[in-house]
Amino acid sequence: METEIKKNLPATILPCYLDTSRSQEDNQLNNNNNKNNVEISIVNAPLEEGFIESSMNSNSISESHSSSSYSASQPETKCPLKNTLNPEITPEEEKVFISEFICGICQEQKLNPDLFTQTLCSHLFCKNCITEYLIIRISESNVLKMPCPHHECPSELLEDDIIKLLPEKLYQKYQIFKRNEELNNSPFLRWCPAPDCTGYDIGNMSKDKLICNACGYKYCYYCSEPWHTNSKCKEINDKELDKWGKKNNVRYCPNCRRKVEKNYGCDHMTCVKCNYEWCWLCGEKYSGGHYAYCEIIRQRKWNKPMMEILGMVFAFLVLIFLPVGAFINIAHQEAENTTFVKFKKLLKIKWLSYSIAGLFGIIILPIYWSIGPFALSIGVCFNTIKGFDCLGCCVFILAFFFGIMLAPIAVVLCIAAAAIITIAGLVMLGIKVYILMRRCCEPGYFRPSGRYGNL
CATH at residue 157: 3.30.40.10
Determine the average pLDDT of the residues in 424-429.
94
With cut-offs at 50, 70 and 90, classify the pLDDT of residue 77: very low
Q: Is residue 220 part of a domain?
A: no
pLDDT at 14: 38
What's the average model confidence in pLDDT over 292-307?
86
pLDDT at residue 103 is higher than 60: yes
Res. 114 pLDDT band, cuts 50 70 90: confident
| Cβ 210 vs Cβ 201: under 8 Å | yes
User: Percent of the chain scored above 90 by pLDDT?
Assistant: 14
pLDDT at 60: 40
Burial of 327: CB neighbours in 10 Å, binned 0-12, 13-18, 19+: buried
Show which of 136, 161, 184 is a domain's final residue: 184
Looking at the structure, do residues 275 and 363 belong to the same domain, yes or no?
no
CB atoms within 10 A of CB 353: 20
Per-residue pLDDT band for 359 (boundaries 50, 70, 90) equals: very high
pLDDT of amino acid 454:
58
Strand duo 209-211 + 200-202: pairing: unpaired
Residue 339, in any domain of the structure = yes
The tens digit of pLDDT for each residue in 178-204 reads 888 888 777 788 899 998 898 999 888
Separation between Cα atoms, residue 78 and residue 45, nearest integer Å = 12
132-144, pLDDT tens digit by residue?
Answer: 889 998 988 888 8
Domain presence at residue 177: yes
Are 56 and 145 within one domain?
no
pLDDT class of 21 with cuts at 50, 70, 90 = very low
Residues 69 and 113 in one domain: no
Q: Of how many residues is the chain composed?
A: 455
Q: Which of 237, 271, 295 is the last residue of a domain?
A: 295
Q: For residue 422, what pLDDT band results from cuts at 50, 70 and 90? A: very high
pLDDT at residue 404 greater than cutoff 80: yes
**Same domain, yes or no, for 68 and 116?**
no
Question: In this model, does residue 419 exceed pLDDT 50?
Answer: yes
Q: What is the largest distance, in Å, between two alpha-carbon atoms of the chain?
A: 136
Contacts of 312 (CB under 8 A, 6+ apart): 421, 422, 424, 425, 428
Distances (CA, A) of 362 to 64, 82, 333, 354, 372: 131, 103, 19, 12, 14
Strand partners of residue 18: 42, 77
Which of 95, 115, 142 is where one domain is finished? Answer: 95
Q: Which domain holds residue 266?
A: 251-295
What pLDDT sits at residue 420? 96
Q: What is the pLDDT of residue 432?
A: 92
Whether 334 maps to a domain, the answer reads: yes
Q: Report yes or no: 452 and 441 within 8 Å, Cβ to Cβ.
A: no
Backbone angles phi, psi at 257, to 5 degrees: 65, 25
Q: Please name which of 157, 106, 103, 149 lies closest in space to residue 125, comparing C-alpha atoms.
A: 103
According to the model, what pLDDT value does residue 354 have? 85
200 beta partners: 191
- CA dist 345 and 250 (Å) reads 25
Cβ atoms of 49 and 42 within 8 Å: the answer is no
How many C-beta neighbours within 10 Å does residue 355 have? 13
Answer yes or no: do 83 and 6 share one domain.
yes
pLDDT over 80 at 221, yes or no? yes
Contact status, residue 259 vs residue 252, Cβ threshold 8 Å: yes
Q: Is 381 a residue whose pLDDT tops 50?
A: yes
Domain count, the chain: 4
Where residue 343 falls among pLDDT bands split at 50, 70, 90?
low
Do 104 and 78 belong to one domain? no
Mean pLDDT of the chain: 75
Q: What is the pLDDT of residue 337?
A: 66
Residues 340 and 420 placed together within one structural domain of the fold:
yes
Of 59-63, 251-255, 305-309, 438-442, where does mean pLDDT reach its minimum? 59-63
Same domain, 280 and 325: no
- Answer yes or no: is 231 within a domain: no
Whether residue 85 lies inside any domain: the answer is yes
Q: For residue 215, what pLDDT band results from cuts at 50, 70 and 90?
A: very high
Is residue 244's pLDDT more than 70?
yes
Residue 54 CA to residue 42 CA, distance in Å, equals 5
Q: Is residue 218 part of a domain?
A: no
Q: What integer pLDDT is reported at residue 34 of this predicted model?
A: 43
Mean pLDDT, to the nearest integer, of 10-14?
39
Report if residue 223 sits inside a domain.
no
pLDDT reported for residue 105: 83
Same domain for 72 and 110, yes or no, is no
Same domain for 361 and 319: yes
pLDDT at 336: 67
- Give the pLDDT score at 349: 77
- Using pLDDT thresholds of 50, 70 and 90, give the confidence band for residue 160: confident
Same domain, 11 and 121: no
Residues 422 and 389 in one domain: yes
| pLDDT of 55 above 70 | no
